[in-house]
Amino acid sequence: MSGREKENDSSEKERRLEWNIVSLEQLNLLLNLTVEELELQLKEILNFKNYQTCLKEAALLDYFVSGFWWAKEMNFTCQQVSCFMALLQLLLDNIREKHMPFVDNYKEFAKAIAGTPKSLSSEDDASPLFHVDQAIAITDYFRFGLFQHYKMYEFLFTQPREERVFKTEETIEVISPEDFAAPLEEGMPTDVFVRYMAPVEQPGEADISEESGVQEQAASAGTARVKTTFNLSSTS
């Protein structure tokens, strides 16, 4: 192979965008997950261990999860998803590692999206991997996503952030119901009062109460009769 052929072969490989973090088989599995499952898997793949407390990891995880889910909803093939995720990675690395300004990074994106071959494995078929409508949709996605918030991503990677751990302690006082008067009957529905607040009578208490009442009435009546007899006798 001549020097020019080697140079063409290396440039062809550079044009071939592929997300080398995962294989196509793993991509197939990721495409069948829910968004919550996808987030958990990408967290492990990208080795984000502190995404719940680290703003940078949280932003990057959201960046990749959102991009992958968008590609899934676009019904991209595994090769197209791999290429799209490679674009996500490429543009992000240009900011993080090369500190590339916006204009230069946009040129890199335009060159990459225009030069993607149809197959990631075939060297003979150099037709575009994405058709025109898909390329326009991808351009709009990056335009309204990464490029619109370019300053924010630059700030994320260039400005160190102090890690702070906030701790809050709260004391909750539990009130004993014995320290407060029972609520008024009028303050709650009748069925609620009867079910939860009314005193429960033990079995047999109702019969005892009724017998006590009868006995009291009989005693009162006997007393009245004695008094009446006494009054009649003294009159006579």
> Residue 76's pLDDT is what?
94
Q: How many domains does the chain have?
A: 1
On whether residue 216 sits in a domain, the answer given is: no
Query: How many other C-beta atoms are found inside a 10 Å radius of the C-beta of residue 216?
Result: 10
On whether residue 95 sits in a domain, the answer given is: yes
Q: How far is CA 20 from CA 13, 24, 25, 48, 90, in A?
A: 13, 9, 12, 17, 11
On whether residue 211 sits in a domain, the answer given is: no
Sign of CA dihedral 25, 26, 29, 35: negative
Does residue 4 surpass a pLDDT of 70? no
Read off the pLDDT of residues 69-101 as tens digits, 9 standing for 90 and up. Answer: 999 999 999 999 999 999 999 999 999 999 999
On whether residue 10 sits in a domain, the answer given is: no
On whether residue 223 sits in a domain, the answer given is: no
Read off the pLDDT of residues 146-193 as tens digits, 9 standing for 90 and up. Answer: 999 999 999 988 877 665 655 677 787 777 766 666 656 556 777 777
Domain hosting 43: range is 16-158
On whether residue 134 sits in a domain, the answer given is: yes
- Mean of the per-residue pLDDT values for the chain? 76
On whether residue 182 sits in a domain, the answer given is: no
On whether residue 206 sits in a domain, the answer given is: no
Read off the pLDDT of residues 41-69 as tens digits, 9 standing for 90 and up. Answer: 999 999 998 888 888 899 999 999 999 99
